Amino acid sequence: MSDEQAPELAARAAALLNDAESAVAGATDRDALAAVRARLVGKRGAVKDLQRAISALPKEARRAAGQSVNVVARQVQALIDARREALEAAAGDGPLDPTFDPTWPGAVSPRGSLHPVTLILDEIRAIFTRLGFDEVSGPEIEDAWHNFDALNIPAGHPARERSDQFYVEGDRLIRSQTSTVQIRVMETNEPPLRVFAPGRVYRPETVDATHLYAFHQVEGLMVGEDVTFVDLKGCLLTFVQSLFGPDVEIRFRPSYFPFTEVSAELDVRRADGEWMEVLGCGMVHPDVLTGVGYDAERYTGFAFGVGLERLAMRRWQLGDIRLLEENDVRFLSQFG
């Protein structure tokens, strides 16, 4: 096209603008506009053709021609943009689907409820957080060190029998108590410390009205200088009264755990008058403190492990612990 003339190019540009005005106005939906856009300003579109033609002009004419083609190019693009906005706005405010009735009531989906054990745990969290305890956790699959040795339960102890634990592989087992977390915390932190650790524990128990083979505990541990049994009793009294009200009847019974000295169990009175054990506790055994590298002359501590299902039974007067793991919706939907 070496014979291209500047006036001719200007005329083509004017014609293109004309054509664009009617083509854009005639595009009545997005797809039509996209086609028009490709034809006018696309890679092989009319505007590109004009721009290419400029290079065939005599040198002196190129600048002026280039400017006028650019002006047209911008105008065409502006036409397309305006049309697109108009089409989008129209789509938004378009006539409603005649079958759509906005006065129909909303479809309310059924709402779940929280499991009683979750409700109890939430309360326990709030109570111990208020008492200055931090929440921690540990693994469910444990080694013999954390489940036994570090808790003063030596090899050969009857509690370690293969039939009394859920062993997974070798000496690994799914933990039978959250006391494992005490050890993990003390191994990695220096006193003073105050922690509570909720978690699931497993024991090959025969299931009956007060026993499950998998249940929940919250472990508590406080270590520092001058921590005494009085602190333990005060803390647990506050805990039980916060949960069950100030009139709850409780009793501390002397007991035995390898990892505490002295040891006790705490019972609460049920509505039927029976005492029910809800937690074990005691002063952390000096051998346990020494075992994690603490100075047992300087530090003392108390610990406790409480069963959540038992607390839920007392709270809602449940006669059978199995209600808490059957997941019968008629039972569960009665809770918050």
Instruction: Determine what percent of the chain falls in helix, strand and coil, rounding each to the nearest 5.
Output: 45, 20, 35
145: its two tokens: 């060190």
What is the biggest distance separating any 2 CA atoms in the chain, rounded to whole angstroms? 113
Q: Which is nearer to ligand DAH, 199 or 305 (CB)?
A: 305
Here's the x/- map for ligand DAH, 51-90, by CB under 6 A: it reads as ----------------------------------------
Alpha-carbon dihedral sign for residues 41, 46, 48, 50: negative
- Least distance in Å: CB of 331 to ligand DAH? 26
Pairing label, strands 193-202, 134-135: parallel
Is the peptide bond prior to 110 cis by the omega test (within 30 degrees of 0)?
no
- Least distance in Å: CB of 282 to ligand DAH? 4
Q: Which is nearer to ligand DAH, 62 or 125 (CB)?
A: 125
- Least distance in Å: CB of 257 to ligand DAH? 4
Position among 33, 305, 308, 310 found at the interface with ligand DAH (CB under 6 A): 305
CA neighbor of 20 nearest in space, from 2, 3, 1, 45? 45
- Least distance in Å: CB of 209 to ligand DAH? 19
Q: Which is nearer to ligand DAH, 16 or 152 (CB)?
A: 152
User: Is the CB of residue 323 less than 8 Å from the CB of residue 210?
Assistant: no
Position among 24, 173, 196, 219 found at the interface with ligand DAH (CB under 6 A): 219
Position among 73, 177, 184, 212 found at the interface with ligand DAH (CB under 6 A): 177
Give CA–CA dist 191/226, Å, rounded.
12
User: Is the CB of residue 233 less than 8 Å from the CB of residue 202?
Assistant: no
- Least distance in Å: CB of 304 to ligand DAH? 5
Q: Under the criterion CB under 6 A, does residue 179 sit at the interface with ligand DAH? A: yes
- Map the footprint of ligand DAH across residues 266-295, applying CB under 6 A: 280-282
Question: Which among 113-121, 165-173, 299-307, 312-320 is the span making contact with ligand DAH, rule CB under 6 A?
Answer: 299-307
Q: Which is nearer to ligand DAH, 193 or 303 (CB)?
A: 303
How are strands ordered across the β-sheet holding 134-135?
Answer: 134-135, 193-202, 214-224, 300-307, 275-284, 260-269, 250-255
- Map the footprint of ligand DAH across residues 111-150, applying CB under 6 A: none
The DSSP H or E segment spanning 189 is: none
Residues in a beta bridge with 199: 217
The DSSP H or E segment spanning 34 is: helix 30-41
Here's the x/- map for ligand DAH, 222-261, by CB under 6 A: it reads as -----------------------------------x--x-
Q: How many residues form the binding site for ligand DAH (CB under 6 A)?
A: 11
Binding site for ligand DAH (CB under 6 A): 177, 179, 219, 257, 260, 280-282, 303-305
